[in-house]
Amino acid sequence: MHFIFICIHLVCAIFFIAYVFFDVCVYHFAYKHESKEDCDKIKKAYTKSSIIIFASIFILLFFSGIYLLSFYEINSFWDFFASNFGIFLFIKLSLLVTMLVLTSYSLFFIKVLKRKDPLKSHLIALILCILIVICAKAMLYF
């Protein structure tokens, strides 16, 4: 069962990062070669249809991570700092919380205030995702 959840977690992480990468990099180049109106229209249609998929991937990623975390004995907050594994896990979780807070902030601006994203949150999310992947690998090798 552990292996299945590792695979689910890995595949969801790949899809999550690919989605953010596509949004940051591919659309950036599309805006240079096509009209802004056409790109905005395509991006709006793409974003509306992908919200359910993206949210499902994130939820699977989150809960598979919690399940995998249950295999490690962490009795208190200070147990994180007892090993390099715990330190990188703590950094990884801190980056995730940072991403959630920044995403919530951006969604507040977009959905409630009806303004443009003040943070370019997908670029920040891409950078944080890359750092999370590096921490995930460091957890196993250091």
3-state helix, strand, coil split of the chain in percent (to 5) is 85, 0, 15
Task: Give 29-48 pLDDT, tens digit per residue.
Answer: 888 888 888 888 888 887 77
Distance CA 110, CA 51 (A): 14
Which pLDDT score is estimated for 81?
Answer: 85
Q: Which two tokens stand for residue 50?
A: 């992908």
Give the containing element (helix H, strand E) for 93: helix 84-107
Across the range 55-76, mean pLDDT stands at: 87
